[in-house]
Structure 1
Amino acid sequence: MDKYVIKTKSSESPDSDKTTKNAKVTSSTVSAKRKYNDEYIEFAFIPSKEDNSLPVCMLCSTTLSNEAMVPSKLRRHFEKKHPLYINKEKSYFENLRSQLYNQAKRFKNLCTVPEKAQIASYEIAQLLAKKKKPHADAENIILPSLEIAVKAMIGTQAVERVKVIPLSGDTIARRIQSMSDDIELQLKEHFANNQDKMSNLWALQVDESTDISNKAQLLAFLRIIKDGSIQNQFFFCSELKQTTTGQDVFELVNTNIESRGIKWENCISVCTDGAPSMQGRKKGFVAHVLKINPNVKIVHCMIHREVW
């Protein structure tokens, strides 16, 4: 009986191996994808840009599955959906394909701004901000001036490259805001990622002034230790909405300090002018600062002292 069982198992093993081989062949056949053939252009089909294994109809922009990548199924879609194009020659669809590719290429060139043009746009925006000039000057004065100079010194062909620099008023405003956000991000990262005790120390310089629209603006700078050297860093410029008392100034400064993860205990110095709202011993800005950190050194701005 044992011999019979052993013999039966051995006789069944070749069949099982054959079944396994068939299963492998079937799985490999299923996983294989059909490829696009140039002859399919006569049915108005081209390969998809996202996936070359998918056919796309140029006439209705319909994307079919890879299983439909056979002449019979493509012809059925073509004759059923687009009967008016049945008598068109193959060259007609080849020209249509060229037009679609050229149109996509032109659209990409229009939407893509070269990296050097982006850099030039940011640097011009920074220059306008430093010189306190209107944003519209970039498009109305700077760009035409660049075109004249480049045309005279280099040639007409180079003028076309200058024209791609984005310099509209809205673009300049976005560039300035983007640079401002980047400065704020760098400041946050400096205090968040710094483990050095000395690098966490900072000094504050604050001044309040009135702009041309008669609004009170509070401007603040930080002096920090970065990369082994002392650096001045722009902090913020915000409007004092109602009054300009020491309490108002402190609340605005404290809001900006807390939002950036900076600690008052690391403040070593505060520099302001001699206005009562700043230097007042009881209700001035420095009085509120000393309540939080009594070790802060108060400095009267030398420029304001020279004026007086």
Structure 2
Amino acid sequence: MKPFTDGDFIKTVIIQAATRWFPGEDNRRDFMNIVQNTRLSPATITRKVNVMADHVHEQLNIDLKKCVRFSIHLDESTDKTDTAQLVVMIRFVLENGSVQEELLELIPLTRKTTGLDVYLSKKNSILAHEVPLEKLVAVTTDDAPSMTGKITGFSGQCLRDPDFPRFLSFHCIITPRSILWENFKYKNRV
């Protein structure tokens, strides 16, 4: 199925389910008319998805402004078109003590993937989201040299930047993906 083209399918399923939801003939007929007259074209669905995404983005920004402390987790990967992608996760603590973890951004690194490129992309992202940088307590990175280098890597660049506070820097050498792969290899040996 192509993205955002399943509106007619959804309408059909809802209309079929309406017989169980509304046993009374009058209510069912009114409901089915509303569903049939609802526009669910790909363009409409795209607009509605964008509205929902904007709402989620706004709520995340509100929560981040109110956070007590936060940490970021960075993982560099390459997609199927050979474009380097930087996955940025943020874990933060709110005033009420609740902890949330969210995907902050997926940043395509269209140039080289040096520590400086990653650092500049991430700093611009933090500034765009108006994250209170002074509340950063930890950074976890993958094993890519552009992340782990003490001088030219992402962590080294941040530690030298006066805008960044002192933070704990962690190097994650075992990603969930590699754990799953190892588990799969051992279970499927003959």
Please, what TM-score do these two structures have when normalized by structure 2? 0.74
The aligned residue for residue 167 of structure 2 is: 296
Q: Within 5 A, what are the aligned runs for 1:215-230?
A: 215-226=83-94, 227-230=96-99
Greater relative contact order (CA < 8 Å, ≥ 6 in sequence): 2
CA contact (8 A) 2:133 2:165 kept: no
The aligned residue for residue 15 of structure 2 is: 147
Larger strand fraction of residues: 2
The aligned residue for residue 26 of structure 1 is: none
Structure 2 CA distance for aligned equivalents of residues 247 and 284 of structure 1: 7
SS in 1 for 2:175: helix
**One of 54, 58, 62 as aligned partner of 1:181:** 54
CA contact (8 A) 1:277 1:285 kept: yes
The aligned residue for residue 244 of structure 1 is: 113
Q: C-alpha displacement at 1:269, in angstroms?
A: 0.8
Number of equivalences: 170
Structure 2 CA distance for aligned equivalents of residues 164 and 220 of structure 1: 41
Structure 1 CA distance for aligned equivalents of residues 63 and 55 of structure 2: 12
Instruction: Please tell me the residue identity of whatever aligns with 1:202.
Output: F
Residues 232 and 165 (structure 1 numbering): CA distance in 2 closer, same or farther, change over 3 Å? farther
Provide the aligned C-alpha RMSD in A. Answer: 2.7
CA contact (8 A) 2:8 2:40 kept: no
Q: C-alpha displacement at 1:202, in angstroms?
A: 0.9
CA contact (8 A) 2:84 2:108 kept: yes
**One of 100, 103, 108 as aligned partner of 1:231:** 100
Residue-by-residue CA offset, 1:125-175 (whole Å, 9 max, x unaligned): xxxxxxxx82212x1432222223325764661322322444322222222
**One of 60, 69, 75 as aligned partner of 1:201:** 69
Larger helix fraction of residues: 1
**One of 210, 225, 231 as aligned partner of 2:78:** 210
Please, what TM-score do these two structures have when normalized by structure 1? 0.48
Residues 167 and 299 (structure 1 numbering): CA distance in 2 closer, same or farther, change over 3 Å? farther
The aligned residue for residue 136 of structure 1 is: 5
1:171 aligns with 2:39: no
Larger Rg: 1
CA contact (8 A) 2:64 2:92 kept: no
Structure 2 CA distance for aligned equivalents of residues 255 and 291 of structure 1: 16
Structure 1 CA distance for aligned equivalents of residues 74 and 16 of structure 2: 44
Structure 1 unaligned regions, length at least 5: 1-132
CA contact (8 A) 1:206 1:271 kept: yes
SS in 1 for 2:151: coil
Structure 2 CA distance for aligned equivalents of residues 135 and 212 of structure 1: 22
Q: C-alpha displacement at 1:231, in angstroms?
A: 0.8
Q: C-alpha displacement at 1:274, in angstroms?
A: 0.7
Structure 2 unaligned regions, length at least 5: 183-190
